[in-house]
Amino acid sequence: MRLIHIIRLRLRSLFLRRTVEQELEEELRYHLERETEEGADIENFQQRKEECRDMRGWNVLDNLLRDTRYAIRQLRKNPGFSLTAIVTLALGMCASVAIFAFVDAALLKPLPYQNPGRLVGVFEASLGETRNNLSYLDYRDWKKLNTVFRSLDVYQRNGFLLSTATGIEPTRGARVSDGFFRTLGVTPMLGRDFYPGEDLPGAQRTVVLSYGAWQTRYGGRRDVLGKAITLDGDPVVIIGVLPREFHFAPAGTPEFWGVVNGTGVCEKRRSCHNLDGVARLADGVTEQVALANVTSIAQQLEKQYPDSNHDRGAALTPLSEVIVGNIRPILLALLGGAGLLLLIASVNVASLLLVRAENRRKEMAVRSSLGASRGRMVSQFVTEGVVLVISGSIIGLACASWVMQLLTALVPANMMVRMPFLQGLGLHGRVLGFAGIIGLLAAMLFSVTPAFHLSLSTMREGLTEGSRGSAGNAWRRLGSKLVVVELATTMVLLACAGLLGKSLYLLLRVDLGLQPEHLVTLQVATTDAKYEKHPLAIALERELMSGIRNLPGVRSAGIANEGLPLDGNGNTCWFWVAGRPWHGEHYDAPERDVSTDYFTTLGARLLRGRFFTEGEDGTKPRVAIINRALARQYFPNEDAVGKQLSYFSEPPVLLEIVGIVEDVREGSLDEPIPPVLYLPFNQSPSSGFGLVVRTSQAEQTILPALTAAIHQIDPGIVTFGGATMGEKIHDSQSAYMHRSEAWLVGGFAGLALLLSVVGLYGVVAYSVSQRTREIGVRMALGAQPRAVYGLVLKEALWLSAAGVLIGLLCSVGAATLIRGLLFGVRSWDVSTLAAVAGVLGIAALLASYLPARRAAAVNPVEALRAE
């Protein structure tokens, strides 16, 4: 009751100010008139009013408004301080919020599926690898026999060639089994999902569109349902459109979702593994129980099909791990870096506030002696801190939103395909919440620091001693500790940036096993069924090769199917060394079918034996070339050339090894090169392949001529993915990831260096300004400028040395945490650490040299007179 009454009264004083004032006026005037009637003294009327207002005005909101106005006025009065503090804070805020938004989009935001926590990725396990593909027949058996999944489905990344009015166009696509979307718990926003059984061989072929494809290719028209289109030369009917927010990174960002219908060559062989599985765990089943069940099924199949399923186990991984597992460590490292930057920024602002509090000692002492309570003064600091944080946060958030757009725009298209979850990044609820928490912590820090300082110094001291000596000591001790923290943190960031930068440097200079200059690559594919006949495919290859070789500027050309260097390891084949005891096991290696001039065009080095010859086709004995890794792994201490491999097919084929090439980087730049088996294209031809062309002129200009030459031979051939080898290296996923890490952490480190150097400068300069009298006395007593330099620099040196040393220790720890992101350097790489420590040391010396010079230039007479 009383509380409500009080609140009503306070609100009244706040919002009905004019009425309250009028009443006060009237009340006091009435009193005055009665007094006058009695002839009593008339006391000061205005002062009475003021005192009554004070009593009424004891109102939190009212005070807050007044404090805020006062704080803003104070900050305006001191624009240098305010700008520095706000910009510093905004920087830290911007970096951490922007990175957090990425972390949120990738790691925190729930995946756009129903109950995503119950979804698992399903793989086969073999030879210690746990992310092997499933074969179609294994999948059918697992689906039939398991008792632990509510449903099990498969997907396969698979581009389609779309026939359009203007020609044939390669598109991103995927094939899935009929229940794939039901397993994920996703329903199309338009039309329908695949019916059960729609993935069986006899069914009418249908396709579901992504939202993006529906918008860009079909203008978002609803009558697209039922429309027949041609994919890979076959008629297909569009049956549905997926929701806008749907994404499924493991399959890339397909425009067309078709079905896996078990009619392909690969799908008829149990030994051909080309699918990934996704399953929803049945209610109450844990991942362990599920794994035990599928493992037992795998063992059962192994007994049943010893040839194809030897040593094929099962593996399950949470789906979220499949989707974001590989970028989680990168994002967390970046978030850590941004967090450290934020720490430095906050420490910097805190020490700025300390200096300011120090300079306002007198003001505070005066206010205190005039009757301001300590609470009122602390609340003034709090308000100032909050005003700083709010302005910093607003600028920081605006900047973060811009940085997010910039960073997403900088992600190349081929990387965005792997990270579709980054689309729709923005200042959403969780990100704003994060910013709010940071702001709150910062506000607490910024209001506690000066308030703490206030309690360190007694008020009276402030008045009597003024700005003399000892008063500054409390701050100097605290301020210098803060600077050590800043320098150490900067050291950590610099060291990480140095290590990541060196990793990138080493990565881009890693031995590729080929000469990347003047090398152009292009993918070639055709929907024409006639090329599936081997002789025609070989004829096509010969025609293409001669056509291309005749182009001006072309020195040589070659082809390889299953992917060009850096494309990834692609399909693997099974083989066995003929003549060794055999118990059904297989060796597994990526296979590349290459043309005669392939290796010479790449500039690959032959270690032993010979390259393939043009005449080696299906009529001649089968031959193979192996890379050094394969020779080292399977033929240690013996000469592999002349040995025979038993190549797993039905029936098995014997291959004679005719040569060994130096390892060519077929997969990613930062992974070890696996054993690779090269077969002559003429002995296992195909209708789609990659082209490599070595030119004697600028690489870019050859691409249009190349495409034109190919279309002259057969206009039905589709070409795509044209790039120079240099571009392929530059744009490869590993280079991109390492580059982004190095640049982002490097940026953080640069800003950190700037902030901490400014911080150190502040500490030293302040210390000099506090000791001007002391320095003056010393000089008056005969101290040389050199001694003064020493006096100032000694302090700076101690601080820097402490910062660098502590930072070194922390750097090794931090680098150990990010060792997964490093390539070719150890986390305690001495040269990097030394260089980084040197940079920081020199920067610190420069920062302290300026105030030292000012100190040495002090005029003793003026310094002594200054008080």
The residues binding other proteins (CB under 8 A) are 1-3, 5-6, 9-10, 13, 23, 26-28, 30-35, 43-44, 47-48, 51-52, 54-56, 58
Q: Report the distance separating Cα 269 and Cα 96, nearest Å.
A: 51
**Coil, strand or helix: which one is 180?**
helix
Q: Report, in Å, the least distance between residue 369 CB and other proteins.
A: 14
CB of 39 to other proteins, least distance (A): 14
Q: How far apart are CA 11 and CA 596, in angstroms?
A: 90
175, exposed or middle or buried, with CB in 10 Å at 0-12, 13-18, 19+?
Answer: buried
Q: Which residue, 45 or 195, is less far from other proteins as judged by CB?
A: 45
Tell me the residue length of the chain.
867
Strands (E), 715-779: 717-724
Contact 694, 600 (CB under 8 A): no
Cβ count near 796 (within 10 Å): 23
Reference 290, options 262, 255, 316, 327; nearest CA is 316
As measured in angstroms, the least distance from the Cβ of 49 to other proteins is: 9
d(CA 79, CA 75): 6
Minimum CB–partner distance for residue 349 and other proteins (Å): 38
Alpha-carbon torsion 131, 135, 136, 140, what sign? Answer: negative
| CB closer to other proteins out of 56 and 502 | 56
Rounded to the nearest 5°, which phi and psi values hold at 327?
-100, -5
Q: Give the N- to C-terminal CA distance of the chain in Å, as an integer.
A: 59
Minimum distance, C-beta of residue 93 to other proteins, in the bound complex (Å) = 40
In sequence order, what DSSP letters do the residues of 455-493 get, joined into one string? HHS-HHHHHHHTT-THHHHHHHHHHHHHHHHHHHHHHHH
Residue among 51 and 639 whose Cβ is closer to other proteins: 51
Secondary structure element (H or E) that encloses residue 694, with its range: strand 689-695
Token duo for residue 613: 């010859």
Q: Least CB distance from residue 370 to other proteins, whole Å? A: 11
Q: How far is the CB of 853 from other proteins (least distance, A)?
A: 52
Q: How far is the CB of 55 from other proteins (least distance, A)?
A: 4
Smaller CB separation from other proteins, 12 or 530: 12
Give me the least distance between CB of 368 and other proteins, in Å please.
17
CB 319 within 8 A of CB 111: yes
Which of 4, 22, 7 lies closest to 61, judged by CA? 7
Contact 341, 91 (CB under 8 A): yes
Q: What is the DSSP string of 170-182?
A: EE-EEEE-TTHHH
Question: Shortest approach of other proteins to residue 768 CB, angstroms?
Answer: 43
Q: CB 22 → other proteins: shortest distance, Å? A: 11
Q: Is the dihedral of CA 658, 575, 685, 707 positive or negative?
A: negative
Longest dimension (CA), the chain: 135
CB of 6 or CB of 406, closer to other proteins? 6
Q: Is the peptide bond before 674 cis (omega within 30 degrees of 0)?
A: no
Nearer to other proteins, 271 or 368 (CB): 368
If the CB atoms of residues 10 and 109 are measured against other proteins, the closer one turns out to be 10
Place of tokens 């014997």: 654
DSSP-derived letter for residue 204 is P
Q: How far apart are CA 558 and CA 664, in angstroms?
A: 15
721 and 568 in contact (C-beta within 8 Å)?
Answer: no
Give the type of residue at 525. A
For other proteins, which is the closer residue by CB, 31 or 428? 31
> Is residue 194 within 8 Å of 206, Cβ to Cβ?
yes
**510 three-class SS:** coil
Report, in Å, the least distance between residue 8 CB and other proteins: 10
CB 173 within 8 A of CB 209: no
Q: How far apart are CA 555 and CA 551, in angstroms?
A: 9
Q: Judged by CB, which is closer to other proteins: 43, or 671?
A: 43
Residue 714: Cβ-neighbour burial (10 angstroms; 0-12, 13-18, 19+): middle
Distance, in Å, from the CA atom of 115 to the CA atom of 421, rounded to the nearest integer, reads 17
Residue 606, SS3? strand
Give min distance, CB of 389 to other proteins, in A: 31
Name the residue nearer to other proteins (CB basis): 8 or 610: 8
The three-class DSSP label of residue 547 is helix
Strand partners, 679: 593
Tokens of 17: 């100010």
Considering beta carbons, is residue 10 or 328 the nearer one to other proteins? 10
Question: 510 — phi, psi (to 5°)?
Answer: -70, 145
In the complex with other proteins, the residue whose CB is nearer, 6 or 866, is 6
Q: Smallest gap, in angstroms, from Cβ of residue 362 to other proteins? A: 23
Q: Please check whether residue 392 is in contact with residue 90, taking contact to mean a CB–CB distance below 8 angstroms.
A: yes
Is the Cβ of residue 62 or residue 302 nearer to other proteins in the bound state?
62
The least CB distance from residue 773 to other proteins, in Å, is 38
Q: Cβ of residue 379: shortest distance to other proteins, in angstroms?
A: 19
Q: How far is the CB of 37 from other proteins (least distance, A)?
A: 9
Three-point CA angle 193, 196, 200, nearest 5° = 110
Nearest residue (CB) to other proteins, 43 versus 363? 43
Smallest gap from residue 387 Cβ to other proteins (A): 28
